[in-house]
Structure 1
Amino acid sequence: MKIFFSLLLLLGLSQAHPILEERRESGVHVDISTIILTANNGSRQFLVDGDMVAPRTRNAMYCFTYNCLWEKGFDGLVTIPYTLSKDFNRWDRKKIQKAMQTFNDQTCVRFKPRQYEEDYISIVNSDGCWSDLGRLGGKQLLSFNRMGCMWHDIIQHEINHALGFEHEHNRSDRDDYIRINWDNIDNDMKYNFYKQNTNNLDTPYDYSSLMHYGKTAFSTQFGKDSMTPIPNANVHIGQTQGLSHIDILKINKLYECKDFL
Structure 2
Amino acid sequence: MLNGQSTFTRESLEKFLDDMDRLDAIESKILGVQHSGIKERLRRPNQTEEEQPDMLPFLFEGDIILNEEQMNEILSEAEEQLEAKEAKDENRAVKEPRQRTLSSSLAGRWSQMPIPYKLSSNVDRNAVMAGIRQWQDNTCIKFRQVYSTSGQGNMLEFIKGNGCYSNIGRVGRGAQQVSIGRGCESVGTVAHEIGHALGFYHEQARFDRDSFIRVMTQNIQNGLAGQFSKQSAQRMQTFGIRYDYGSVMHYGSKGFSTNGRNTIETIDRNYQSTIGQRFGLSFANVKMMNKAYCGGQFVNLNCQNGGYPDPKDCSKCRCTDGVAGRTCNQMRSTRTKCGQLIRASTGTLQTLSQSGAGECNYMITAPAGRRIVLDISSLRFASGAPCPSAFLEVRYANDISVTGARLCSGSRVRITSQSNQVIVLYRGSYRSSFSLRYRYDPPTPSGGVTSPPQTRRPITQRPTRPATRATPSPGGQWTQWSPCSSPCGGCGTQSRQRNTPFVAYLKSIHPFLISGLSASK
Are the counterparts in 1 of residues 134 and 280 from structure 2 also a CA contact under 8 Å? no
Are the counterparts in 1 of residues 49 and 163 from structure 2 also a CA contact under 8 Å? no
Question: Counterpart in 1 of 2:282?
Answer: 244
Q: Structure 1: where are the runs of 5+ without partners? A: 1-33, 73-77
* Higher strand proportion (structure 1 or 2): 2
Question: Counterpart in 2 of 1:143?
Answer: 179
The alignment covers a number of residue pairs equal to 216
* Higher helix proportion (structure 1 or 2): 1
Are the counterparts in 2 of residues 123 and 142 from structure 1 also a CA contact under 8 Å? yes
Question: Counterpart in 1 of 2:127?
Answer: 95
Cα distance in 1 for partners of 2:290, 2:224 equals 32
Change (3 A) 1:82 1:251: same
Cα distance in 2 for partners of 1:64, 1:210 equals 28
Alignment of 1:159-198 (within 5 A): 159-197=194-232, 198=236
Change (3 A) 1:40 1:102: closer
Q: 1:38 aligns with which of 52, 58, 68?
A: 52
Deviation, structure 1 residue 244: 0.3
Alignment of 1:1-261 (within 5 A): 38-39=52-53, 46-58=58-70, 59-61=72-74, 65=102, 68-72=108-112, 78-88=113-123, 92-114=124-146, 116-136=151-171, 137-145=173-181, 147-197=182-232, 198-222=236-260, 224-232=261-269, 234-235=271-272, 236-257=274-295, 260=311
Deviations 1:115-169 (CA, angstroms, capped at 9, x unpaired): 7421111111111110000001321111111x32111111000000000101000
Change (3 A) 1:153 1:64: farther
Greater alpha carbon shift after TM alignment, 166-175 vs 181-190: 181-190
Deviations 1:183-224 (CA, angstroms, capped at 9, x unpaired): 1113411111111122212100000000001111111112x1
Question: What's the TM-score, normalizing by structure 2?
Answer: 0.39
Question: Counterpart in 1 of 2:345?
Answer: none
Cα distance in 1 for partners of 2:58, 2:66 equals 6
Q: Amino acid of the residue matched to residue 109 of structure 2?
A: L
Give me the CA root mean square deviation.
Answer: 2.6
Change (3 A) 1:94 1:64: farther
Are the counterparts in 1 of residues 118 and 157 from structure 2 also a CA contact under 8 Å? yes
Deviation, structure 1 residue 231: 2.5
Are the counterparts in 2 of residues 107 and 257 from structure 1 also a CA contact under 8 Å? no
Cα distance in 1 for partners of 2:180, 2:163 equals 6
3-state SS of paired residue (1:57): helix
Q: Amino acid of the residue matched to residue 226 of structure 1?
A: T
Cα distance in 1 for partners of 2:220, 2:101 equals 28
Are the counterparts in 2 of residues 210 and 239 from structure 1 also a CA contact under 8 Å? yes
Greater alpha carbon shift after TM alignment, 104-113 vs 60-69: 60-69
Are the counterparts in 2 of residues 36 and 129 from structure 1 also a CA contact under 8 Å? no
Question: Counterpart in 2 of 1:5?
Answer: none
For the pair shown, which has the larger CA radius of gyration, 1 or 2?
Answer: 2
Change (3 A) 1:148 1:177: same
3-state SS of paired residue (2:143): strand
3-state SS of paired residue (2:158): strand
Deviation, structure 1 residue 64: 10
Are the counterparts in 1 of residues 186 and 279 from structure 2 also a CA contact under 8 Å? no
Cα distance in 1 for partners of 2:195, 2:50 equals 14
Detail structure 1 runs of 4+ shifted over 6 Å in the superposition. 34-37
Q: Amino acid of the residue matched to residue 176 of structure 1?
A: S
Cα distance in 2 for partners of 1:49, 1:247 equals 19
Cα distance in 2 for partners of 1:102, 1:64 equals 31
Deviation, structure 1 residue 255: 1.3
Cα distance in 1 for partners of 2:265, 2:245 equals 11
Q: Amino acid of the residue matched to residue 107 of structure 1?
A: T
3-state SS of paired residue (2:254): coil
